[in-house]
Structure 1
Amino acid sequence: MQNKRGISQAFARPLSGLEIRPASVFDVFAMSQVLTASVRGLCQAGHGCDPQRIDAWTAAMAPGQIRAWFGGAGRYWLAERNGQAAAVGGLDPDGTVTLLYVAPSAAGQGTGSALLAHLEAELHSAGHSEGRLSATRAALGFCRKHGWRQVEAPAASCCLPCIPMRKPLG
């Protein structure tokens, strides 16, 4: 191991039954289920339980829409806990975390934290010294807890106001 982070990760106990792997087009149905369940169950601060906002947000998360993502430059990961889809993450080549959604059944178990750490490591290994993301109000505390800092005023994104954030990597 060449750095402290690598050493701590090597000796850290892995989360029981958690596997993070690259997603493929064959995962679109599982990804859609995680994404829509997360929006409906965990993102109330973002959509205020407004059915129109929820429908607008989840429309882009249908399996057919997700299948189209795999034709672009983004990369996606699926976190599975004991063989069940638990979280979805995504990155753009420019160093932006585009997706980080956890299924309600996996919330509070470290799944989101493990997936975010994985995405940050992927960005760092791709040569990025800084990561970027746009957090919803529901995710703001989680992102801050993991060292992300707000850099601009909220902007309209992801069908609702999102908070641009950055984090130094490495």
Structure 2
Amino acid sequence: MNNKRGIAQAFSNPSEGLGLRPATVFDVFGMSRTLTRSFCDLCQADHRDDPMKLALWTANKDPAAIRDWIDAGASLWVATKREEVVAVGGLRAEGEISLLYVDPDHSGQRIGATLLHQLQDELRAQGCTEAQLRATKTAHGFYVAQGWQDAGDPTEWNGLPQYPMRKSLHPVG
């Protein structure tokens, strides 16, 4: 092929300068900010600016609660740019992705997709052959584009729609 450089760039890491790592207690303020801003600013289709829904969702997203999650052994990951937390992801036992949120200032940069792939790789390393999650209305299309499939009828959590989804983690051969 004559355009090897162009092809290499097309398939290069779209999130240059992005760091992915397990979260630590030193990340709790950035994680809290990212989770809250992402939900409040990007998920209007879910909360529709309803103060009660916003309050219910953000109630356990403060730094102290997140520190408790980490202290309890939660598997939480962060994506960082220049040491700033720009996305947060989480895993639960039995192959569940518990959360994946990107700061609004960094949405549309493939950071969510990059962190999602990391979480899926972590589940594979744990021996999981299938992953599950509950998507927000806002994120449903994102997950479909990442190869996830609906796994049942939508449910509600504190008045917010949740879409059960699953994805095979078997290697594509």
Flag whether TM exceeds 0.5 (same fold). Answer: yes
Gaps of 5+ in 1: 1-11
Q: What is the TM-score when the length of structure 1 is the normalising length?
A: 0.89
SS in structure 1 of the partner of residue 91 of structure 2: strand
Gaps of 5+ in 2: 1-10
Which runs of structure 2 are paired with 1:12-31 in the superposition (5 Å)?
12-14=11-13, 15-31=15-31
Q: In the alignment, is the contact (CA less than 8 A) between 1:74 and 1:93 conserved in 2? A: no
Q: In the alignment, is the contact (CA less than 8 A) between 2:53 and 2:158 conserved in 1? A: no
Matched, 1:55 2:55: yes
Q: 1:158 to 1:82 in 2, by over 3 A?
A: farther
Q: 1:20 to 1:126 in 2, by over 3 A?
A: same
Q: What is the TM-score when the length of structure 2 is the normalising length?
A: 0.88
Within 2, Cα distance between the matches of 1:87 and 1:159?
24
Q: Which amino acid aligns with 2:147?
A: G
Superposed CA RMSD in Å reads 1.5
Q: Which residue of 2 aligns with 1:68?
A: 68
Q: In the alignment, is the contact (CA less than 8 A) between 2:56 and 2:158 conserved in 1? A: no
Within 2, Cα distance between the matches of 1:96 and 1:62?
22
Number of matched pairs: 160
SS in structure 1 of the partner of residue 46 of structure 2: helix
Q: 1:132 to 1:158 in 2, by over 3 A?
A: farther
> What percentage of aligned pairs have identical amino acids?
43
1:122 Cα offset (Å):
0.5
Q: Which residue of 2 aligns with 1:46?
A: 46
Q: Which residue of 1 aligns with 2:32?
A: 32
Q: In the alignment, is the contact (CA less than 8 A) between 1:56 and 1:159 conserved in 2? A: no
Within 2, Cα distance between the matches of 1:40 and 1:93?
27
